[in-house]
Amino acid sequence: MSMDSIIEKWFSTRDQKITWGISLAFFIIFPIYFANLTSFLPDGAVVNSGDSVAGNWNVKVTENIEASDSDEVNMDDGEIFELEFTYDDMTTNLAYVEIVVKHDELNERGPAGGPAGQVAKWPEQCDTVDVAIDMDGVNGYVMNSSTTESTSSNCPSEQVLRIYMVENYSDAGGEMESTKNEILAMYDDGDQGRGDWFGEITLTVNTGSGPGPSGPTANRDNGEVVTIEWKVVSVEVEITAVTDTTIS
């Protein structure tokens, strides 16, 4: 069969001519469409695929407590409380570890005195609590934004130490212009924060001044109640498009 016969056969009817005309139009229009596709997209969007699509995204950040504990300790002057725990779960994405140490001045007093048994109360002076977290047993953390040491002698006292696993961490979320992969990378812990956590909490008693010389009537403050709390906090990130940039 000659080429002329083949062409005559393909274009012999009206329907065949319409079909070939539409096909030819697609061959011409499609390259032009895809070459100028970005002009049809929303502001800030680019042509790409999957999680690499750039655009404006709503970012929702949710924190979850993965592990926690607390202790209320009666500490004597010079006593050291050793804080110890281990966290090695690699399935979570850690945001930070928070350690809170609280104390107040509750027992600054002299001996019982007088027939009615009144208790002499000296001027209060808050005891000092020092906190030091040893990071040697932990496989990494964000050093420039973390707090691993603290001290306080102002009552009532609440010392909050946060050790971050995510650089420039914030739980604010909101609208961001980027790709999904880049946003997820902003909250990635890099497998940091796993290992053996160890800390020392030290109490130093400061006594208020009583009348007269030191002796049987002097201040009997020899310790304090200290509360130690810790928690391991993970972060989940949910990303949804502000404007649909999906190309179907």
Q: Are 25 and 132 found together in one domain?
A: no
Is position 109 within any domain?
yes
Q: In which region does residue 207 sit, left (phi positive, over 0), alpha (psi from -120 to 50) or beta (all else)?
A: beta
**CA atoms of 134 and 199, how far apart (whole Å):** 6
Q: Are 75 and 20 found together in one domain?
A: no
Q: Are 90 and 205 found together in one domain?
A: yes
Question: Quick one: DSSP state of residue 88?
Answer: -
Q: How many domains does the chain have?
A: 2
User: Is the predicted pLDDT of residue 2 greater than 70, yes or no?
Assistant: no
Is position 47 within any domain?
no
User: Is the predicted pLDDT of residue 116 greater than 90, yes or no?
Assistant: no
Is position 170 within any domain?
yes
The mean pLDDT of 89-111, rounded to a whole number, is 87
Q: Are 25 and 148 found together in one domain?
A: no
Question: What's the pLDDT tens digit per position in 185-227?
Answer: 999 999 999 999 999 999 998 876 555 555 555 556 678 999 9
Quick one: pLDDT at residue 147? 98
Write a three-state SS string for 187-214: CCCCCCCCEEEEEEEEEECCCCCCCCCC
Residue span of the structural domain in which 216 resides: 52-241
Which strands sit side by side in the sheet containing 54-76, from one edge to the other? Answer: 157-164, 94-103, 223-241, 54-76, 174-179
| Residue type at position 233 | V
User: Is the predicted pLDDT of residue 172 greater than 90, yes or no?
Assistant: yes
In DSSP terms, 193 is beta-bridged to: none
Give the predicted TM-score (pTM) of the model: 0.70
Buried b (16+ CB within 10 A) or exposed e, 30-48: eeeeeeeeeeebeeebeee
Is position 15 within any domain?
yes
Which has more confidence, 235 or 43?
235
Question: Quick one: DSSP state of residue 122?
Answer: P
Q: Are 58 and 159 found together in one domain?
A: yes
Low-confidence winner among 39-43, 48-52, 81-85, 235-239 (lowest mean pLDDT): 39-43
| Residue type at position 156 | P
Question: What's the pLDDT tens digit per position in 36-67?
Answer: 555 555 554 444 445 666 789 999 999 999 99
Quick one: pLDDT at residue 105? 84
Quick one: pLDDT at residue 49? 47
Q: Are 114 and 153 found together in one domain?
A: yes
User: Is the predicted pLDDT of residue 107 greater than 90, yes or no?
Assistant: no
Q: Are 69 and 30 found together in one domain?
A: no
Q: Are 110 and 192 found together in one domain?
A: yes
